[in-house]
Amino acid sequence: MINDRISQAILVSGESGAGKTESTKSLMQYLAFMGGKAKAEGRSVQEQILESNPVLEAFGNAKTVRNNNSSRFGKFVEIQFDQYGKISGAAIRTYLLERSRVCQISDPERNYHCFYMLCASPPEDRDKFKVGEAKTFHYLNQSNCIDLNGFDDSKEYIETRRAMGIVGMSNDEQDAIFKVVAAILHLGNIEFGEGSEPDSSAPKDDKSKFHLKTAAELFMCDAKGLEESLCKRVMATRGESITKNLDAKGAALSRDALSRIVYSRLFDWLVNKINSSIGQDPDSKILIGVLDIYGFESFKTNSFEQFCINLTNEKLQQHFNQHVFKMEQEEYTKEEIDWSYIQFVDNQEILDLIEKKPGGIIALLDETCMLRNSTHETFAEKLYQKYKDNPHFSKPKFSRSDFTVHHYAGNVTYQTDLFLDKNIDYAVNEHQILLNASKCPFVSSLFPPVEEAAKNTKFTSIGSSFKQQLQSLLETLSATEPHYIRCIKPNNVLKPAIFENSNVLQQLRCGGVLEAIRISCLGYPTRRTFYEFVNRFGILHPKALSKGNTEITSTKMILEKANLVGYQFGNLKRVPQFTTSPSDFEFYR
């Protein structure tokens, strides 16, 4: 960056637990050390950049089966430099936080670290935030794993609050954040039973009423209003609005939807706050971007999240292919080598299948989400009809609603069951009105009033906004010189010094490493100077080394002797004149 004055990007990829986040942290530490400015006033930019890591990890990382500290979001950190090569600003962009985890975890995973930290906070904080032991909360005790080996939640709580301070969050803001976290835990403990009217619902018992009251206190909103927003739904039809009761199951779903939207708005708030306190440098002309993003995923069951993650990887793979190929092409043009017959396989067709507008899977999903009475089955039916002849799409034999995409890294079968729900991003109107009216300015700011115009648009599509985010990421990346780090996980048992061959091979495939080698093979991957060539292969044809031959003549003679056809010499004008000393040839004779 300093030498060429060109922005750089480092793309770190690999499967979960392979070491992306650890590598990214090392990279950021290095950049902060090399580009850090001496501290003038307050916190230095580099210090804030580094301290953003523990904050984002507390709210965006969780224990999964594959990694005890798995990032459940993608991250692009853009470090801006001034003309002297010193860090002058930074921006963090995050992608697709896994929201479903807030309400649903399976054994032996955990929810986001911050929930456990809060429950392990000092007694005065636990009183302030009205929380008790982690195992008493439904959102945490669905899994048997509460404590994490080597991870001290109470220490992490103090550490997180310290880091929050460094990245510019005041004490009051921190308290407001943890109140929201506590409110979510209490929401999760509200159970619903039958209400007084048919098909209606109400908090099941005194315990549920207590948690509802506590959640309302923490949100600083009206408890009755909270109950109604969970147990009733207002339907607007042709200018009229009708209030409909929700049954116990519907109320529990509404409760979980509220928890998810609050948590995701909270996470977005944290990222925005970090960005505004670190500050951007509008005059910066060069940057180094570090991308830490989920690798290609293919599990037994694959849902909407895997679909988006794999779209990301298709996009990055295309960027990688184009970059490698472009570089090769430039080299050939410079050397005047004829490369017109090299066929380069692009994954554009797979990308079209997924994201073309109109006609791609995401567009079809949005269309389906907008229609009343759509189900995942009607969505799958549409897919089957539309793509029956698409070579990158297939319908698994014994399935009525799954579909398979033939990705560059392998085939992945997706279960459509939750695609529609997961694609819809909206705050239920009653939740929105309730929390907007909160007496806590922080909570109210998470739910700003919805503009009239936006009310009429039916919903915001998570798939489409993710697609746009990716587009803008790729625009940023294409203005940089990219570098790639592929993290490879040696084993699945989270232990050192064990190397599982088949796993490693699978990762090389999924990471596009084999694809990169294939592209190189299509071109002219081996380049030697005439001198090196004659020196190495002269032994095959000693006569070629006769005195008076130029390096080029010798090379031609060796190639012909070996019956090699189709070679190209490139731009002969650029070849240095014969410089080999006779003693070098002696060796071969």
Instruction: Say whether residue 507 binds ligand ATP (CB under 6 A).
Output: no
Annotation: binding site for ATP: 14-21
C-beta of 70 vs 416, nearer to ligand ATP: 70
Pairing of strands 61-62, 402-407: unpaired
Q: Are 78 and 52 in contact (CB under 8 A)?
A: no
Instruction: Say whether residue 59 binds ligand ATP (CB under 6 A).
Output: no
CA separation, residue 227 to residues 160, 316, 383, 466 (Å): 33, 45, 40, 33
Computed on alpha carbons and rounded to an integer, the radius of gyration of the chain in Å comes to 29
Instruction: Say whether residue 58 binds ligand ATP (CB under 6 A).
Output: no
Q: Are 581 and 532 in contact (CB under 8 A)?
A: no
Q: How far is the CB of 15 from ligand ATP (least distance, A)?
A: 7
Among 48, 67, 347, 413, binds ligand ATP (CB under 6 A): 67
Catalytic status, residue 70 = yes
Instruction: Say whether residue 141 binds ligand ATP (CB under 6 A).
Output: no
Choosing from 16, 303, 444, 476, the catalytic residue is: 16
Catalytic status, residue 228 = no
Q: Are 188 and 139 in contact (CB under 8 A)?
A: yes
Q: Are 405 and 353 in contact (CB under 8 A)?
A: yes
Instruction: Say whether residue 22 binds ligand ATP (CB under 6 A).
Output: yes
Q: How far is the CB of 531 from ligand ATP (least distance, A)?
A: 40
Choosing from 13, 17, 52, 512, the catalytic residue is: 17
Instruction: Say whether residue 19 binds ligand ATP (CB under 6 A).
Output: yes
Instruction: Say whether residue 17 binds ligand ATP (CB under 6 A).
Output: yes
Instruction: Say whether residue 283 binds ligand ATP (CB under 6 A).
Output: no
Q: How far is the CB of 223 from ligand ATP (least distance, A)?
A: 38
Q: What is the number of other CB atoms lying within 10 angstroms of the CB of residue 244?
A: 11
> Rounded to the nearest 10 degrees, how much is the dihedral formed by the CA atoms of 424, 429, 432, 435?
-140
CA separation, residue 300 to residues 16, 102, 297, 306, 352 (Å): 15, 22, 10, 11, 25
Q: Are 507 and 313 in contact (CB under 8 A)?
A: no
Instruction: List beta partners, residue 485.
Output: 12
Which among 19-27, 41-49, 220-228, 469-477 is the span making contact with ligand ATP, rule CB under 6 A? Answer: 19-27
Catalytic status, residue 67 = yes
Instruction: Say whether residue 273 binds ligand ATP (CB under 6 A).
Output: no
Among 18, 134, 163, 435, binds ligand ATP (CB under 6 A): 18
Among 1, 8, 16, 550, binds ligand ATP (CB under 6 A): 16
Q: How far is the CB of 488 from ligand ATP (least distance, A)?
A: 10
Give one DSSP letter per residue of 66-125, joined into a string. Answer: S-TTEE-SEEEEEEEE-TTS-EEEEEEEEE----GGGT---TT---BHHHHHHHTS-HHH
Choosing from 64, 71, 321, 555, the catalytic residue is: 71
Instruction: Say whether residue 110 binds ligand ATP (CB under 6 A).
Output: no
Q: How far is the CB of 196 from ligand ATP (least distance, A)?
A: 47
Q: How far is the CB of 294 from ligand ATP (least distance, A)?
A: 6
Among 7, 9, 21, 246, binds ligand ATP (CB under 6 A): 21
* Coil vs helix vs strand at 14: coil
Residue type, 111: N
45: nearest Cα among 271, 260, 278: 278
Catalytic status, residue 295 = yes
Catalytic sites, residue numbers? 16-17, 21, 67, 70-71, 295, 297
Q: Give me the residues that bind ligand ATP (CB under 6 A), please.
A: 14, 16-22, 67, 69-71, 294, 487
